[in-house]
Amino acid sequence: MANASETGADGARAEHDPAQPDPRPRLQKALAQAGVASRRACEALILGGRVEVNGEVVFEMGSRIDPEADEVRVDGVVVQLDASKRYFVLNKPRGVVSTMRDEQGRPDLREFTDQVEDRLYNVGRLDTDTSGLLVLTNDGDLAHRLAHPRFGVQKTYVAKVRGRVTPAVIQRLKDGVELEDGPIRVDAAKLLPGGTSKSHSLVEVTLHSGRNRIVRRMLAAVGHPVDELVRRRFGPLHLGTLRSGEMRELSGAERGALLSAAEDGEDHAASGITAGRPGDGKGAKGMRGVAARGNPHGRNGER
């Protein structure tokens, strides 16, 4: 049973002069200020053994923490104690380059980030002709970690492809196809109802590869070139009903799920964990984005 007032993030005993006031906040106050719940509710979470500091359960109500050094979790979900860190999701339109400044003068992300005072970084990239979910944050360390291939964050795409896709084609994607840079297979794939016509099909694919234009190359390899592509999910985050060109700040639940995915080095969504509000003891419901049937760009129409 850990005492957060005695140990730091590396497990070493924190140095503090007992003759001087301790400037570190009490655990329940830090949780309340982070938006987890009211002070009283946070006290109940601590007493219930649902709060961990640096991997150990803390029961002591008077425990103090270092918000800059200690990792705090509620029900396994990381709590962001630094209020200066901000996280957004953008529904990137087609034709916009995934960079903060394009040397060729093409539309870039500044159109959306200029409305935020903080300097934002994009987590990974989307091709210019691909639309959908892009994470933006002023947390440069998180952006670097989530974009690194070793984390293998799962992403889900909806593709409008040429031709009628059969179940055999879906199975080929699952079994794997050979590309010029090596074999690759999706984690999941399915035909979406209402998206099939004489000339096109609507396919949803989920994979964790970060290879360049990998979804387009895979679908072309099985005989179905992509006409339109939109990313609907990145790790535990879903695009939902966010319109093309719109940006919104993450909720506390989404922020916790994203931080947990980064800290654990795995995709929590792949493990069945959705973005739950810290303290509710279960994944939040109603956050799952539903692909627009017959049109991956929803209300904005094909472009």
Residue 3 has pLDDT above 80, yes or no: no
What pLDDT sits at residue 1?
47
What pLDDT sits at residue 284?
31
- Span 133-166, pLDDT tens digits: 999 999 988 888 887 777 778 999 999 999 999 9
- Span 32-86, pLDDT tens digits: 888 788 889 999 999 999 999 999 999 988 899 998 889 999 998 888 888 788 9
Domains and CATH numbers, the chain: 1-80 (3.10.290.10), 84-269+292-303 (3.30.2350.10)
Element (H, E) at 30: helix 27-33
Residue 277 has pLDDT above 90, yes or no: no
Please give the C-alpha separations between residue 94 and each of 71, 127, 155, 233, 246, in angstroms, as whole numbers: 38, 8, 18, 17, 13
Q: Please tell me the pTM assigned to this model.
A: 0.73
> Cα 281 from chain centroid?
20
What pLDDT sits at residue 170?
97
Between 281 and 177, the more confident residue is 177
* Average pLDDT for the chain: 81
What pLDDT sits at residue 62?
80
Q: Which positions are catalytic?
A: 127
What pLDDT sits at residue 300?
34
Please give the C-alpha separations between residue 65 and each of 3, 5, 39, 53, 73, in angstroms, as whole numbers: 9, 6, 15, 8, 12
Confidence of residue 268 (pLDDT cuts 50, 70, 90): very low
Residue 292 has pLDDT above 50, yes or no: no
Confidence of residue 270 (pLDDT cuts 50, 70, 90): very low
- Span 214-234, pLDDT tens digits: 999 999 999 999 999 999 999
Rounded mean pLDDT, 182-189:
95
Range in 20-24, 29-33, 57-61, 113-117 the model is least confident about: 20-24
What pLDDT sits at residue 23?
85
Residue 283 has pLDDT above 60, yes or no: no
Residue 298 has pLDDT above 70, yes or no: no
